[in-house]
Amino acid sequence: RGFAQAMLDGTIRDDEAQTWATHIIKDESERMIWLTDELLELSRIESGQIRMFREPVDMKELLQQCQEIFSIRAEEKGIQLRTNLEPVSSVIGDIDRLEQVFNNLLDNALKHSPARGNIGIAARQGWADFVEITIADTGPGIPPEQLSQVFERFYQVKEMKSGTGLGLAIAKEIVRAHGGDITVSSVLGEGTEFLVRLPCNPLIQSPDSGTL
């Protein structure tokens, strides 16, 4: 807004400065659109307005697809992106929304992993007919006092500020809508691991425990 006003007032006159200001206005407007879209999406999920599709999802295939999507970015940063996918049951759920969850976790892991670091994607058959998926990185880790807040909307770890602070909040609501849960553990200087548990049964719960 300030740059737009400066252009209207004539404070910014030469072509180079106007081009620079225009790029800033464009970038910031896109950031605000992104923020608004994420807020609206989170609100719709929390209120049960977004329906999750119910279809068998091959989790091994989905995670391999996510790995392929991020493999080029990982290679560019010199990061090893590895998978350890055991045979697991299919999950009844919304494949696009589940992909959104794991893409968000992988995006965060890549942003916060150093060059020559490692990111691991693992899946195994967990307890009580649950599939357990972990995304682990070798980044700087999250301070213990901040771990309980990472899924709160707008919260960003002080040492790792990037994005809008809504991605993990949205991921948590999507997982909850599938009747699952997501947790995080971390060790400073060693890395962070997110664990997603998803039920293998066909019952999908909304955030308010109503079936979608």
pLDDT in tens, 2-51: 777 777 777 777 888 788 878 788 877 776 776 666 666 666 776 666 77
- For residue 84, give both structure tokens: 């350890």
By CB atoms closer than 10 A (0-12, 13-18, 19+), residue 122 is middle
Instruction: Give residue 97's Cα distance to chain centre.
Output: 11
Q: What is the pLDDT of residue 3?
A: 74
Instruction: Give residue 46's Cα distance to chain centre.
Output: 17
Strand (E) or helix (H) holding 8? helix 2-9
pLDDT exceeds 80 at position 180: yes
Spatial separation of the C-alpha atoms in residues 118 and 112, rounded to whole Å = 11
Spatial separation of the C-alpha atoms in residues 113 and 133, rounded to whole Å = 19
Report the first-to-last Cα separation within the chain, whole angstroms: 42
pLDDT exceeds 80 at position 65: yes
For the entire predicted model, the pTM comes to 0.74
Q: Cβ–Cβ contacts within 10 Å for residue 67, how many? A: 18
CB within 8 Å of 68: residues ≥ 6 apart: none
Closest CA to 38 of 96, 100, 114, 105: 100
**CA-only gyration radius of the chain, Å:** 20
Spatial separation of the C-alpha atoms in residues 46 and 39, rounded to whole Å = 11
